[in-house]
Structure 1
Amino acid sequence: MSSTTTQPPAPSFAALRHTGYQALVGTYLLAMMADNVEHVISYWMAFQKFQSPALGGFAVVSHWLPFLLFSVPVGALADRVDPRRLIQCGMALFMTASAGWAYFFITDTLQMWHAMVLLIIHGCAGVLWQGATQLLLHDVVPARDLPSGVRLLATARYLGVLVGPAVGGLIMLTIGPRYGLLLNTVFFLPAFLWLWRAPYGPRFRKEGGPPPRAVRGLADIVQTIREVRSNPSLGSMILLAGLASFFVANSYQAQMPGFARDLGHGDPGTTYSMLLAADAAGALLAGLLMESRGGLLRAAPSTALLLCMCWCLSLAAFAATGSYPLALLLLFAAGVFELAFSSMAQTLVQLNAPATSRGRVIGLFNMSALGLRAFAGITVGLGGSAVGIHASLAGAALSLLMILILLRLWLARKVRA
């Protein structure tokens, strides 16, 4: 049995031919930018105040643990209700978190537990936003353009990560971090307002179908795992996403102020923003190349595994280097490989997910790809408190590499059989 999926050819940037998708990806990009503006300012201010790698680790855990606990239930809920309303709830929570940071910075009353609560609110906003957006995507673009829609949405995510630090740095230099976070709440409004009347969702679907299953909590997770085990493309990509998230994910970004300090090149604030921007710039380039040259990389589980291995090597080398220019180059390469393997995995999952349980399958993918990132906060973040952030990141990346090699050998043997 082959583990690859043949995709019909489509023109470059096919999803952008649809007006609804233009609005979806535009508002998604703006919200992602605002998400990262909040990260850049709040992480920097909290690091300056508490100097705590453990809080950086908690930032990772609290951001991703809601995905682990609630991705499948939220996916099941999105199968039954209007996903637009779930996204709007996520935007409201994002605005609450940014306004909360602004209040505590303006009044200079931020305590450790305040920061922890705000980080949890931010994480809950993300789980409502991401899963519902991926499900709504199927209403906005036709099936033939879905791979393009997935790639462009992933590219928009990294473009937001790229633009966010630049906008956040500009805000910090002009109006300052305190009132800058208050301004940041405005960037979430376009998505909230557009979805109010956007003609997508259950009541706009022309085709009928079986009624969605009831939301059953833990039983949904167990049943969805049983369903995806019979599909090699679904199972292998959900497993790949989970392994990458468990060991590394983006946990090193929360520790980036520490890496910037250790590299000691010029102003630490500028160094910090440049390191974040290099990672995102590599991902942006990869997304544009993959979309403009649709045949550049064929979506296949074996290819996604190889790209993830290259990502591991790039991050391990970044953790080991003491050269700032080389660190920028390695993070740029890491961004290229991360966008390539993660968007490929997500494309295979969304193309192969059954229509009757699409929300649950996408929720299981998010639970694996995003929820398991909570544990990377332990391996890289809290581990950094014990052995240093350089050793913890290198160890996590190389451990993941060894497991991926074994997984790829196992998949190759299965395909030959």
Structure 2
Amino acid sequence: MSDPQAADSAAVPERDSAAALTPRRFAAFRSRDSAIYVTTAGLSMMADNIEHVITYWVLWNTFHSPLLTGFQVISHWLPFLFLSVPFGRLAERYDCRRIIQSAQLLFLLVSLAWGYLFLTGALQAWQACVLLVLHGCAGALWGPAEQVLLHDLVEEHELPSAVRLNATMRSFGVLAGPAVGAALLIGLGPAWGMFANMLFYLPMTVFLFFTRWTGHVRDGGVVAAPRAGFRDTLGVFREVGGDRQIVQMLVISGLGALFVGGAIQVAIPDMSQSYGADAAVTAYGVLLFANGLGAVVGGFLLEATRVVRPTTWTALWATIAFGVTILIFALTGSLVIAVLALVLSGVANIAALTAAQTVLQLRAPVAARGRVLGLSGMVGSGLRTGSGIIVAGLGAAFGLRGAVLASAVLLTIGAAITTGYALRSEHRDPHRS
């Protein structure tokens, strides 16, 4: 029987001789532009999560609505479902720096609007819904362009390191966001906390005025492609449908998005109440911190040791581990065990995420890279809308803890089935790429 890891590694194409070179550890930190880029991306992701922390807390305590909690997930990720591929086409056609700056500006304006509504006490449910949708649109616009520009910042053979470090720094934003968000919430209050949050979007926006990388420099220029539309989305499906590894990565990303997605973060405010009213705020911050800690620690360990290679098999097995740890988190009544489960889930999730993204980056055709990465955003982020439906439906019937439990079970089963199918396919045809 062939070694799946070896076959998987051999299937990753080398587009030039540089791909055969041994990449340096922490390669993205060895170049000025890429180091600034991944660091400022982490700050923007931190601002994104600060906004979540403050708004989710205010919305729950203002409306106490599981339906609105579910809508928080749906509205955030639905733009990814419908707009990721068209936005990926924009990343192929235009300067990625300007696309990212447009997304950062939209993030900033949404924070400004939240701050104003909190300050005046005029917040209504429909206003919250509009701002949640706009925030989701900003994230969908940011995603493909951010990944395409990352490809431009480093040499081909160092791309896996750059993908891992970029994901790690974004995870650091997820980690720092709850702590900074809680500090802003307690120290400045919701309104002024939101105004302060606007500052964290500025470093990346300003930096992009001073870098020469556009997302297309190494490939010789912008792709002259037609305008994007629904047919374009179907077209990119057909274009990558024959690549087994790309399909497997899309499937495993979609499972994680559909069955867990953003359910954890929006359910934590309610689940933290089970540890006692006096400890609810503390538990809320600790659980959110633990959710990001595993991803950051795991990302740096993966980069430093390189024991786990970024292959399709890594993504598949790590996704199963992610589902199991979330299952433990949903079942336990102990805060200590819940924290440990979330830390381990973060390690598993960062391993799966970076492995899948690396495979997609390396295997995507140059002329369709933006759309393939947009397709990744569509299934890996857009299908989180489904987790919002689970949270809203099952949360209303059985509570948010029950919704998380159901999500974890479905994810684990789905990932196990996908891995079994991949193993059987590898055994039947180990040389197929």
TM-score (norm 2): 0.92
In the TM superposition, what are the counterparts of 1:293-312 in structure 2 within 5 Å? 293-294=305-306, 296-312=307-323
The equivalent residue for 1:20 is 33
> Which runs of no fewer than 5 residues in structure 2 stay unpaired?
13-18, 429-433
Q: CA deviation at 1:267?
A: 2.5
The equivalent residue for 1:259 is 271
User: Matched residue of 1:205: which SS?
Assistant: coil
The equivalent residue for 1:90 is 103
Question: What is the CA–CA distance in structure 1 between the aligned matches of 2:323 and 2:337, rounded to whole Å?
Answer: 16
Deviates further, 264-273 or 358-367 = 264-273
The one-letter amino acid of 2:35's match is: Q
The one-letter amino acid of 1:219's match is: R
The equivalent residue for 1:236 is 248
Q: CA deviation at 1:244?
A: 1.1
Alignment size in residue pairs: 415
Q: Is the 8 A contact 2:152 2:218 kept in 1?
A: no
> Which runs of no fewer than 5 residues in structure 1 stay unpaired?
none
The equivalent residue for 2:426 is 415
Question: What is the CA–CA distance in structure 2 between the aligned matches of 1:206 and 1:27, rounded to whole Å?
Answer: 22
Q: CA deviation at 1:330?
A: 0.8
The one-letter amino acid of 1:47's match is: W
Q: CA deviation at 1:3?
A: 4.1
Q: Do residues 38 (structure 1) and 51 (structure 2) align?
A: yes
User: Matched residue of 1:197: which SS?
Assistant: coil
Q: Do residues 274 (structure 1) and 310 (structure 2) align?
A: no
Q: Is the 8 A contact 1:251 1:376 kept in 2?
A: yes
Q: Do residues 288 (structure 1) and 318 (structure 2) align?
A: no
Question: What is the CA–CA distance in structure 1 between the aligned matches of 2:121 and 2:210, rounded to whole Å?
Answer: 40
The C-alpha deviation readout for 1:184-218, integer Å capped at 9, x for no partner, is: 1111111111112321116x726537943212311
The equivalent residue for 1:118 is 131
The equivalent residue for 1:149 is 162
Q: CA deviation at 1:158?
A: 0.9
Question: What is the CA–CA distance in structure 2 between the aligned matches of 1:210 and 1:58, rounded to whole Å?
Answer: 37
The equivalent residue for 2:238 is 226
TM-score (norm 1): 0.96
In the TM superposition, what are the counterparts of 1:15-414 in structure 2 within 5 Å? 15-201=28-214, 205=217, 207-208=219-220, 211-264=223-276, 266-294=278-306, 296-414=307-425
The one-letter amino acid of 2:324's match is: L
Q: Is the 8 A contact 2:69 2:391 kept in 1?
A: no
Deviates further, 9-18 or 116-125 = 9-18
Q: CA deviation at 1:301?
A: 1.5
The C-alpha deviation readout for 1:307-342, integer Å capped at 9, x for no partner, is: 111111111111111111111111111111111111
The one-letter amino acid of 1:246's match is: L
The one-letter amino acid of 1:75's match is: G
Deviates further, 208-217 or 17-26 = 208-217
Question: What is the CA–CA distance in structure 2 between the aligned matches of 1:14 and 1:367, rounded to whole Å?
Answer: 28
Q: Is the 8 A contact 2:310 2:354 kept in 1?
A: no
Q: CA deviation at 1:91?
A: 0.7
Q: CA deviation at 1:413?
A: 1.1
Q: Is the 8 A contact 1:53 1:255 kept in 2?
A: no
Question: What is the CA–CA distance in structure 2 between the aligned matches of 1:393 and 1:382, rounded to whole Å?
Answer: 12
Question: What is the CA–CA distance in structure 2 between the aligned matches of 1:386 and 1:327, rounded to whole Å?
Answer: 23
Question: What is the CA–CA distance in structure 2 between the aligned matches of 1:362 and 1:210, rounded to whole Å?
Answer: 16
The C-alpha deviation readout for 1:356-394, integer Å capped at 9, x for no partner, is: 110000000110101101111111343211121122211
Question: What is the CA–CA distance in structure 1 between the aligned matches of 2:403 and 2:118, rounded to whole Å?
Answer: 31
Question: What is the CA–CA distance in structure 2 between the aligned matches of 1:41 and 1:342, rounded to whole Å?
Answer: 26
Q: Is the 8 A contact 1:3 1:232 kept in 2?
A: no
Q: CA deviation at 1:403?
A: 1.9
Q: Is the 8 A contact 2:92 2:222 kept in 1?
A: no
- Percent sequence identity is 39
The C-alpha deviation readout for 1:46-75, integer Å capped at 9, x for no partner, is: 111111121111111111100000000000
